[in-house]
Amino acid sequence: MAGAKFEPAYRRVVLKVSGEGLAPAGGVGLGADALRHVANEICSAHDLGVEVAVVVGGGNLVRGASFVRQCSIPEATAHQMGMLATVINALALQETLESMGASSRVLSAVHMHAVCEPYVRQDCLRHMEQGRVVVLAGGTGRPFVTTDSAAALAALELDADAVLKATQVEGVYTADPKVDPRAQFCARLTYDEVINQRLRVMDLSAVEMCQRKSVVIRVFNLHEPGNVKRILMGEDVGTVVGEAAE
Ligand code: UDP
């Protein structure tokens, strides 16, 4: 209908970006081009009026479980280092967003008052309602889990409609497409299929959390410019994980 107001597919989303997504090719450290690309994708969602909470990983700097294998520090400390890595990434992303004109705040589950705001649910909701992108740092604030779980928890806590899980490939496959040429792409999956077949979408605990409140998971290729906007415009991009009829 002419003049009809466009309604995005989702009203509020949690975007999960791994540390690798913010790194140059090779996946280590931070890359200016990668930061600008991710910030652009976020701005496109923001421009549509969609409320966005971004959960950033830290694997480009430190992954607790692999770091602990290289040295003799307690594993809990290695995970804390991983959480601090997510704060570094969040600050870089927030400043990149600001430089592109998108008002943004970092809220961290690990309290670092001199650097960013502490995560408080009500503050986070208020920021989003006021048109700010929130970048959630520090994961869950506790060791031994990953930022996938933090993203699922954030979706439940913030009453988001979907988790947009940015990956390095088109979506979910029956096997790793980089290793197994017989790997098949899955356009649609139920939560139970993901859990029972142990498909590599997100941590299984994160998938279970999303299932609990029917939060849709959209797995997509971060490197394809415009994918976030396409998902929000209702296009079939990547893999959709949800209830059977989703
Ligand atoms: N981490 C943690 N608790 C959390 C989130 C993250 O201990 O709630 C640590 C964990 O060691 C993890 C690291 O932070 O490996 C970086 O996060 P993640 O592996 O999720 O980053 P990504 O792979 O998404 O870049």
Position in ligand 1 atom list of the atom nearest CA 149: 8
Pocket residue to mutate for ligand 1, from 30, 87, 135, 147, most atoms within 8 A of Cβ = 147
Q: Is 176 helix (H, G, I), strand (E, B) or coil?
A: coil
- Alpha helices by DSSP H, listed for the chain, are 32-47, 64-70, 75-99, 121-129, 147-157, 191-196, 204-212, 227-232
Pocket residue to mutate for ligand 1, from 38, 55, 86, 219, most atoms within 8 A of Cβ = 86
Residues 140-194: tens digit of each pLDDT: 999 999 999 999 999 999 999 999 999 999 999 999 888 899 999 999 999 999 9
Per-residue pLDDT of the chain (246 residues; tens, 9 = 90+): 555 677 999 999 999 999 999 999 988 999 999 999 999 999 999 999 999 999 999 999 999 999 999 888 999 999 999 999 999 999 999 999 999 999 999 999 999 999 999 999 999 999 999 999 999 999 999 999 999 999 999 999 999 999 999 999 999 999 988 889 999 999 999 999 999 999 988 999 999 999 999 999 999 999 999 999 999 999 999 999 999 855
The 8-class DSSP code of residue 119 comes to P
The 8-class DSSP code of residue 5 comes to P
Number of other CB atoms surrounding residue 39 within 10 Å:
25
Q: Is 128 in the pocket of ligand 1 (CB under 6 A)?
A: no
Q: Which domains does the chain have, with CATH numbers?
A: 12-242 (3.40.1160.10)
Q: What is the DSSP string of 76-92?
A: HHHHHHHHHHHHHHHHH
| Gyration radius from the chain CA atoms | 17
Q: Is 31 in the pocket of ligand 1 (CB under 6 A)?
A: no
Q: How far apart are CA 88 and CA 74, in angstroms?
A: 22
Q: What spacing in Å lies between the alpha carbon of 227 and ligand 1's midpoint? A: 24
- Specify the pTM: 0.96
pLDDT at residue 3, as a whole number? 56
Q: Tokens 């029956």 belong to which residue?
A: 174
Position in ligand 1 atom list of the atom nearest CA 78: 11
Q: Is 58 in the pocket of ligand 1 (CB under 6 A)?
A: yes
Helices first, then strands: H and E counts in the chain: 8, 11
Sign of CA dihedral 113, 160, 102, 228: positive
